[in-house]
Amino acid sequence: MSFSHLSHLECSRTGARYDADQVQGVSDVGAPLLVRYDLDGVRASVTPAEIAGRPHDLWRYHEVLPVRDPAHVTTLGEGMTPLLPLPSYGAHIGVPGLLMKDEGLVPTGSFKARGAAVGVSRARELGVEAVAMPTNGNAGAAWSVYAARAGLGSLIVMPVDAPEITRRECVVSGAELYLVDGLINHAGALVKAAVAERPGTQEVSTLKEPYRIEGKKTMGYEIAEQLGWRVPDVILYPAGGGVGLIGIHKAMLEMRELGWIGAKLPRLVAVQADGCKPIVDAFDAGLDESTLVEGTHTLAFGINVPKALGDFLVLQAVRESGGTAVAVTDEEILTELGELATREGAWVCPEGAACFVAARQLRERGWIAEGEEVVVLNTGTGLKYPDTVSVDVPTLARDGAVPAR
Ligand SMILES: *Cc1c(COP(=O)(O)O)cnc(C)c1O
């Protein structure tokens, strides 16, 4: 019985095969590598019913994860986040079957921990000594924390505007951290140059190593398992690099081949901010790839990605699943964030709030029907973005009184 049924890596553009048991970056044509498994072997060795009895973290799906030896699993308990009904807010926007997958509850407060847990575990298994990455904040925080746990070094470069808490998370876990007066693509160029000078350090930028997708795809496995091994009608996802959306779609295709779910796929919605919407523009124009946008800006920092390496995979997943792509404004994001908190007690991150705006708008347009089951990914906790709420309340004198009402 294998812990993992990892088979090989495959170029996402040409289908060429690569050895999974060596450290790999992108394919020869510069495209992301996708991880392939012996799914017949998985089907023969485990059933959904057996999975039900396993510990409540993402490693419950270890047959379809890339780590071969359980001794290399680096975990802080990530995964199996709640799939919460939102009855009040759902009724308010006309989608009573609205559910929120709350990734604010994973270690480091964002779903980046899923990719980091699997990516770091596999890097450690393959003998990597340190990881290096550009980040909009949350990924760097997650990878530094998991690298610390695995005993690996980490080099992180992030824009000066990235959420300040994420700097502290890198520093506290011992990362070598630099800030750059620019965007994530500028940070990326600096990291690339540094890694060339540092043997033993692997560049783990978004989709430049194969295993982060595998961590994030577990959101798809969990959604299906939590619904009793069936899929919802629609899943909305805030797309920056798009790893989670690519991963969820990959999970759906794997589960379908395994016979764990039926033929139906959820319609995937890529949500972006008006100030940075290369994927939405490409979708609207019927293009297979996006164009680099200059001077992008949004308070939803996790989705401020001017050009994603895997843009074509996001567009493919959206189209193949019958989904769509939507952009929303920062003002709408802040308003919706307040609605969620007052109606449901849920302080979501701006990226998650963007998906709620999109759900509301797609319902208004009739793209989402009233009776449909809709899952929104809240990709992080609102606690990491305290500036989304301004507090303007009176201070009382010690001998004063609370005003009568
Ligand atoms: C990184 C991030 C995203 C976007 O994730 P991608 O995989 O890059 O598309 C969304 N929300 C939050 C909170 C993030 O940190």
The whole-angstrom separation of Cα 142 and Cα 327 is: 27
The pLDDT score that the predictor gives to residue 1 is 72
**Residue 57: other Cβ atoms inside 10 A:** 18
Q: Whose CA is nearest to atom 4 of ligand 1?
A: 240
H runs (alpha helix) in 211-365: 212-226, 243-258, 278-284, 311-320, 330-344, 350-364
The whole-angstrom separation of Cα 269 and Cα 315 is: 10
The best mutation among 303, 355, 383, 388 to test binding of ligand 1, ranked by most ligand atoms within 8 Å of the C-beta, falls on 303
The pLDDT score that the predictor gives to residue 225 is 98
Q: Whose CA is nearest to atom 9 of ligand 1?
A: 242
Q: How far is CA 179 from CA 69, 155, 185, in A?
A: 36, 11, 13
Which of the 8 DSSP states describes residue 59?
A: G
Q: Is 304 in the pocket of ligand 1 (CB under 6 A)?
A: no
The pLDDT score that the predictor gives to residue 322 is 98
Q: What are phi and psi of 290, to 5 degrees?
A: -95, 170
The whole-angstrom separation of Cα 87 and Cα 85 is: 6
Distance 366 CA to ligand 1 centre (A): 27
β-pair partners for 328: 273
Distance 39 CA to ligand 1 centre (A): 28
Vertex 219: Cα angle to 82 and 250 (nearest 5): 160
| Fold type of domain 83-109+212-385 | Rossmann fold (3.40.50)
The pLDDT score that the predictor gives to residue 7 is 98
- Taken as a whole, the chain contains a residue count of 405
Strand, helix or coil for residue 355? helix
pLDDT tens track for 348-392: 999 999 999 999 999 999 999 999 999 999 999 999 999 999 999
The pLDDT score that the predictor gives to residue 294 is 87
pTM above 0.75, yes or no: yes
**Residue 358: other Cβ atoms inside 10 A:** 27
Q: Is 173 in the pocket of ligand 1 (CB under 6 A)?
A: no
The pLDDT score that the predictor gives to residue 380 is 98
β-pair partners for 22: none
Q: What interhelical angle do 243-258 and 212-226 show, nearest 10?
A: 60
The pLDDT score that the predictor gives to residue 351 is 98
Low-confidence ranges of the chain (pLDDT < 70): none
**Which residue's entry shows tokens 């980091």?**
116
Closest CA to 339 of 353, 322, 359: 353
**Domain residue ranges in the chain:** 83-109+212-385
Q: Whose CA is nearest to atom 15 of ligand 1?
A: 302
Instruction: Return the amino acid letter for 302.
Output: G
Element (H, E) at 141: helix 138-150
Q: Is 380 in the pocket of ligand 1 (CB under 6 A)?
A: yes
Element (H, E) at 326: strand 324-328
Q: What are phi and psi of 268, to 5 degrees?
A: -95, 130
